[in-house]
Amino acid sequence: MQVLVLAVFVLSACAPVSNAGQPQVQAVVDAPVATQMLLPTPLPTRPGYEPGTLVDYIAQMGDTLPAVAAHFNTNEKEIRAANSVLPEHVTTLPTGLPLKIPIYYEPFWGSSFQVLPDSLFVNGPAQVGFDVIAYVNEQPGWLKNASQYVDEQQRRGGEIIEYYATTYSLSPRLLLALVEYQSGGLTQTDLSSSSSTYPLGYIDGYHQGLARQLNWLGNELNNGYYDWRTGKVESFELSDGRLERPDPWQNAATVALQLYFSQVMPVEQYTLAISGEGFLKTYTQLFGDPWTNVQAHIPGSLEQPYFRFPFKTGQTWAYTGGPHTAWGEG
C-alpha cells in the first residue's frame, strides 16, 4: 500500500468544515521510502502519424464531436467528411460506434491504459444500493473511526465519504478506493503523522484533515472529468516539469485520475498509479474488476430537456444572490 499525501480547500462559508474533529488515530513514524520502485512494463507507444491520417476510434459513452475533435487535434468538418453515417444534428455519439478520425499528431502523449470506466466514476446507477456507511464500518482501517465536523454536524468516516460523494456526484466506491490507495483508510489501523494531516496527498495548510482533502479532491476530479468531456484538457504538468498530453483514445475517468495523481506524486509513483498495478489493483481488490460488464449511463443522441424558471410569463423577478464559487469549479 502506498502512503501518499493530499489536501483540500473550499470557502468556509460554502463548505463549513472544522479541524477540531480530526481522525483520532495513533501517529506512527513514517516508514523509510524505498530508493527504487518497480515500475509497470511500458505500453507500446503510438506512432507519429502523418497529418490527417485516418485512425480507428470507437465512440465512448458521452462522446461528442467537438470533444473528439479536440482530443485528436482535428475539427468536426473533417470528422464528418470521413464518417457519412453521422446524423446532421448528432449530440452524444452512440457508445460503440466505429469511426475514422483524421488525426494531427502532437508530442508527449501519455499512457493509453484506461484505469476506470466512466460509469463507475460518477455517482450514477452503478452505485444504487451501495451502503457506504455500513461498508466502511465493516472494515478494520482507520477511516471508520475518523470524525470531523462537516456542514453543521459531526460526521464519522462513512458519513464523510457519503457526504462528499453526494455533494460532488462522485462514486463513493471511487472515493473509498482513493482513500485506501493513498493512506490505507480501509485496511490500516494506524496512520503516519503526515497521512493523518494529508490523507489524500495534497499538501497545503488550508486543506488539512480528511474532509478538506475530500473537498479539494472532488473539485479536482470533476474538473478533469468534465473538462475532458468538453475537449478542454490539452496537457498537464508532471512533478518534474515535463508536459503530458492525455492519449486521444483515453476516457474521461482515467484522465481525471491522471490529473489528480500528477498533482500529488513524483513521476515514478504517478506512472505506477495509472497502470494496472496501481490504483486499479486497489480498486479491484476492494470491489472487483471494474471492467466486467460495463454499463453505459449516457445514451446516444442525448437531448437537453427544456427548463423554465417557476415564474409566470411576463412576471418581473430579480436575482438577488451574489456570485460565489459555492463548491468550486467542479
The model's pLDDT over 158-180, given as tens digits with 9 standing for 90+, comes to 999 999 999 999 999 999 999 99
Go through the domains of the chain in sequence order and give each one's CATH number.
Answer: 1-24+105-330 (no CATH), 53-103 (3.10.350.10)
* Exposed e or buried b per residue across 193-219, where buried means at least 16 C-beta atoms within 10 angstroms of its C-beta: ebbbbbbbbbeeeebbbbbbbbbbbbb
The model's pLDDT over 28-49, given as tens digits with 9 standing for 90+, comes to 334 333 345 666 666 777 888 9
Residues forming beta bridges with residue 109, ordered by sequence position: 245
Among the residue ranges 72-81, 101-110, 114-123, 125-134, the one predicted with the least confidence is 101-110
Per-residue pLDDT, 151? 94
C-alpha cell at 309: 424558471
Per-residue pLDDT, 38? 61
172-183 helix and 157-167 helix, angle to the nearest 10 degrees: 130
Query: What is the Cα–Cα distance from 13 to 201, expressed in whole angstroms?
Result: 24
The model's pLDDT over 277-286, given as tens digits with 9 standing for 90+, comes to 999 999 999 9
Q: How confident is the model at residue 107 (pLDDT cuts 50, 70, 90)?
A: confident
Q: For 168-220, give the DSSP string.
A: TTB-HHHHHHHHHHHH-TTT-S-EEHHHHH-BTB---GGG-SHHHHHHHHHHH
Pairing relationship of beta strands 191-192 and 236-237 according to DSSP bridges: unpaired
Confidence (pTM): 0.84
Q: For 68-99, give the DSSP string.
A: HHHHTT--HHHHHHH-TTS-TT--BPPTT-EE
Compute the C-alpha angle 16/23/202, nearest 5°. Answer: 70
